[in-house]
Structure 1
């Protein structure tokens, strides 16, 4: 009998150790008989069908790396568990070769506990990989259902698609993004997606090509930004970019001074979420 770990069994075990409150689901321990999360709950959180997750847990399906990442985020896997899941699924672990997109449990807890603050996690190349609901309500950005490039801030910025956020020093902002991408390309030379992104931007954006050729060096700093929300109007927020020790990710946090008009608008958005506040006609 083989003693080698089995991905299907591990997925069932990892699902069983989580409680609904661990992932923000509104169910208490006395409202269900299932130990851990239900299969339907994990499927919904990971963006896959319950039937597909069942086949994975029965060893009848082979998950792509994208699916492994989504399940790792949902199941709150540690770095070691994520690397094990990658190996068992037949994928090389990302560390040291490509830009990591795994979020560890500590960063996940940060997202869960700061539900009243717009917060998002980007990888080192500025691709959005996770956010809380208030971030989506404020910015309109949602990583779910987007490919890696269209969820990338550098790509969108130099394609004139910056969404609702206005930057006070746009040229400095663009220069810092290019400098970040240059550093990432040096750190992860084997990441083909990063190389393809740089090549596509150099061809399609004269501004990016100019900044790339100039070898511009710039740094991010805390600053105030304006978000043009379609329902509540302008919201001035302070933007801070944080890092997590041992994880090559960027955590972007928007805050407003207590008692300010912006704080009240954020409170309103935290209540209504992504629903439209336009009154019905007729």
Structure 2
């Protein structure tokens, strides 16, 4: 019996399009999300979603299940149930979670005038708004398992998450803060296999990361001041603030410009002219 597909369809039907920013419209026949809408929110193809719902594919990856749970704004219990239906172990307290609660999603969706993204405790990119895609480039072009900000910072061999030129005005400090934040995550999730594998990969692939890791610093990456070299409007000075959400240690990154400045005008132009992507 295709319990995974049946449950997925039921949760798609109950999801209000307005809750995730889609217009209701008088011609809408679907009582919940359309397949193409859920596919867009989850970063998967419509054909793949159809196969999941129809039971023609029954072994989705952890990344796909996590993305579906976020898009459907599932509770913790519902998310764990979806994992088990997919034949996967639900993330325990010892493992980093990719779940973004419905309340957090509601808050960040209201920040239309800023570039916003949400990262897991290991800096795996989980969600971004259209402003982020417009300012930094569309992350959906990068395979989901490679959407990691630390990997993007230190390894030259991976596809770039930040497709536009980015310069920090505090030389070296953001890299050190990022490594210290990752070490802090090892204290919160000491048994995380995913985190351990990431650190091993970074030590082997980056002398710079290995040197900073050897320093043993522990801390939280809270803020930065960057110049984004946007291809359409030119360089934009932005403040980058990192907010942390609860025990899951989710990182909500918000990039904004100083009020009433030329940079604020350029940021608005960039957001208006940019990619139409949101997950």
The TM tier, using the shorter chain, reads: 0.7 to 0.9
Deviation string, structure 1 residues 12-56 (Cα, Å, up to 9, x no partner): 22111123222222342x222221112232223323333432332
Partner of 2:39: 43
Post-superposition offset of 1:143: 4.5
Partner of 1:113: helix, strand, or coil?
coil
State the alpha-carbon separation in 2 of the partners of residues 219 and 190 from structure 1: 20
Q: What corresponds to 1:264 in structure 2?
A: 265
**Corresponding position: 1:131 with 2:128:** yes
2:149 is aligned to: 153
Q: Counterpart of 2:272 in 1: which secondary structure?
A: helix
8 Å contact kept, 1:97–1:189: yes
Q: 1:223-242, aligned counterparts within 5 Å?
A: 223-242=224-243
Q: 1:115: Cα distance to partner?
A: 2.1
Instruction: Report the equivalent of 1:279.
Output: none
SS where residue 107 of structure 1 aligns?
Answer: helix
> Could you say what secondary structure the match of 2:109 adopts?
helix
CA contact (8 A) 1:47 1:144 kept: no
| Greater RCO structure (CA 8 Å; 6+ sep) | 2
Offset of 1:178 from its aligned partner? Answer: 1.3
- Matching residue of 1:197: 198
Q: 2:105 aligns with which of 105, 108, 111?
A: 108
CA distance in 2, matches of 1:93, 1:240: 31
Q: Tell me the CA shift for residue 102 of structure 1.
A: 1.3
Match of 1:26 in 2: 23
Normalising by structure 2, report the TM-score: 0.86
Summarize the Cα distance change of 1:27–1:145 in structure 2 as closer, same or farther, 3 Å threshold.
farther
Q: Partners in 2 of 1:267 and 1:235 — Cα distance?
A: 10
The answer on whether the counterparts of 2:121 and 2:185 sit within 8 Å (CA) in structure 1 is: yes
Structure 1 portions without partners, runs of 5+: 276-282
1:186-225 equivalence runs, <5 A: 186-225=187-226
The TM-score normalised by the length of structure 1 is 0.86
Alignment partner of 1:249 is 2:250: yes
Whole-angstrom CA distance in 2 between matches of 1:143 and 1:126: 16
**Paired residues of 1:11 and 1:57 also in contact (CA < 8 A):** yes
CA offset at residue 250 of structure 1? 0.2
2:87 maps to which of 80, 90, 93: 90
Bigger Cα Rg? 1
Q: Identify the residue that residue 61 of structure 1 maps to in structure 2.
A: 57
